Amino acid sequence: MRFFDYLWRDNDIKMTKGLSGKAAEDSVDHPVCPICSSGKVEPMPQHPEAALYRCRACSHAFSVPSSIASPETYSPEYFYEQHRRWFEHPNLPLFRSVLHFIPKGATVLDVGCGRGDFLRFAQKERPDLQLSGIDLSENESGDGIRFHTGEILSWETDERFDAIVSLAVIEHVDEVLLFVRRLKELTQGLSRR
């Protein structure tokens, strides 16, 4: 994974550089990269549930949403059934790596925070941080972490954050460019510490 898969911080949003206004239309016959809009893509090994491609221009791997046989649903049991192993064995080295890039005293938003495992880890390791998370599933705020329930693209807030973390989320996002722009919007206007 690259840096942009882990952390979005004001003025460090490398993957949005040079993006045009609207993503090009794509289809299974003529896929277009949702990150850089390049049509220079190659099929990846066949997958039984979706058509997968890798962009030769930016190396992003993606699926064409219309090719997905059974789109994922996110019930309250999602974390305990679908991705039980991910939550039983969190990637602590990844969590530590992400925290390394976050400045002291920063305000942090974890987008797609799930059960809040990263935020709880961050609270223990870096009590100087002001932590918030947003997810489709409900979490109870407490222990210095504020949780919001909702979808990031439609979440109404005036808050802006020093750092935005989004782990294992982008592969679930249909409108990647809108997602990235929204994350950038939530960091806009901040100065570096």
CA distance 133 to 114: 9
What's the average model confidence in pLDDT over 168-173? 81
CA distance 111 to 15: 17
pLDDT digits (tens, 9 = 90+) for 69-127: 877 666 666 665 655 565 566 788 999 999 999 999 999 999 999 889 999 999 999 99
* Bigger pLDDT: 18 vs 94: 94
Sorted by where each begins, the domain ranges of the chain are 3-13+75-185
The pLDDT, as a whole number, for residue 5 is 34
Determine what percent of the chain is predicted with pLDDT higher than 90.
42
Q: What is the CATH number of domain 3-13+75-185?
A: 3.40.50.150
The pLDDT, as a whole number, for residue 76 is 61
Q: Which strands form 107-111's sheet, in the order they lie side by side?
A: 7-9, 163-165, 107-111, 130-135, 145-149
Residue 22: pLDDT above 50? no
pTM: predicted TM-score of the whole model, two decimal places: 0.68
Handedness of CA 65, 187, 3, 115 (dihedral sign): negative
Element (H, E) at 117: helix 117-125
